[in-house]
Amino acid sequence: MRIAAVGSALAPHYYDQDALIAAFREHWAERHFNLERLEALHRNVLVGGRHLALPIERYRGLDTWGKSNDAWIEVAQEVGERAVRTALDRAGLTVADVDCLITVTVTGVATPSLDARLMNRLGLPPRVKRVPIFGLGCVAGTAGIARAADYVRAYPDQVAVLLSVELCSLTLQREDLSIPNLIASGLFGDGAAAAVVVGAERPAAGPAIVASRSVFYPDTERVMGWDISEAGFRIVLSAEVPEVVRRYLRRDVDAFLADHGLGRSDIAVWVSHPGGPKVLEAVQAALELPAEALESAWRSLREVGNLSSTSVLLVLEETLAARPEAGSAGVMLAMGPGFCSELVLLRW
């Protein structure tokens, strides 16, 4: 089983963080008692700019969840199609080669689901098995790779495509002045990424998927997620996230690697979900990694922000482009709502 290629499609409207801060200051000027605090929160996430699903002036008109979700359905199809076509082209495949399409998201809902809407748009064969997954949040990029690997393990002559679409800006709660919402409004961006995973009987040059592991942490439902109401998705984001990383990640990674006769010193490539500055610092500290080990994740955070499940696939895309040395081992990892972690062992 191999990851044959990854392709991405960032949302079409890019704004640097200064422009976004100015827009938020204008919007919240009448209600927020401390605009300097708002600006400090946005600058502390170390994001230089973000891609948005819509031109910034259109967000004022999204005064209901229905309008926001309609925009999600429209833009998700556009960026989703671009990401899938790019990934297939890089893998030397066409839509006719696809046997399974897995879609992951946590920022919009649709029935028929996004994958169904892409069947006609992409011209996928009617036989394609569709697996829409909602609710895994930031962990879904890595979990999706693992589930795609499970599929092609069962069908080694087939091709699975994982598509992540996250349009986080369309979930913004403009009446919510809580610290988690203010942080989220400065951290999250919009985009899509797709990965092509092929079975052992299909030739491919990408890294082999050696193994995967899921770890669920009991009684951690309020660490991260959504509270869902008539207003849409209201973020749950606990300050405990970095502490959960420090508490569990080293134990889980060490146990996972030990089962395959490896230790952290054997891992040459780390493909980590960016999360945010405090999360990346916690990952680095927990795994005792040198600063350069997570440079791709830091760069992704600085350039486009946190794109939930899409982010780790952007880091994977950059990693594949760097062409790690043949024979080197890698770990792809993410943590997210549940609270839980997903680990994938790779071999180039």
Write out the catalytic residue numbers. Answer: 138
Place of tokens 């959504």: 226
**Any idea which residue has 């949040």 for tokens?**
137
User: Which pair of structure tokens corresponds to residue 20?
Assistant: 């976004």
Within 217-328, strands assigned E span 224-229, 232-237, 267-272
Token representation of residue 46: 């170390």
Distance CA 18, CA 39 (A): 9
Three-state DSSP class for residue 93: coil
Measured distance CA(80)–CA(115) in Å, rounded: 9
Task: Output the CA angle 312-70-173, nearest 5 degrees.
Answer: 70
Q: Are 202 and 157 in contact (CB under 8 A)?
A: yes
The three state secondary structure string of 127-165 is CCEEEEEECCHHHHHHHHHHHHHHHHHHCCCCEEEEEEE
What is the rounded radius of gyration, in angstroms, for the C-alpha atoms of the chain?
19
Nearest CA among 261, 309, 264, 306 for reference residue 284: 264
CA distance 145 to 141: 7
**Cα–Cα distance, 217 to 62 (Å, whole number):** 36
* Distance, CA of 193 to CA of 137 (rounded, Å): 14
Beta bridge partners of 333: 272, 343
Count how many residues are written for the chain: 348
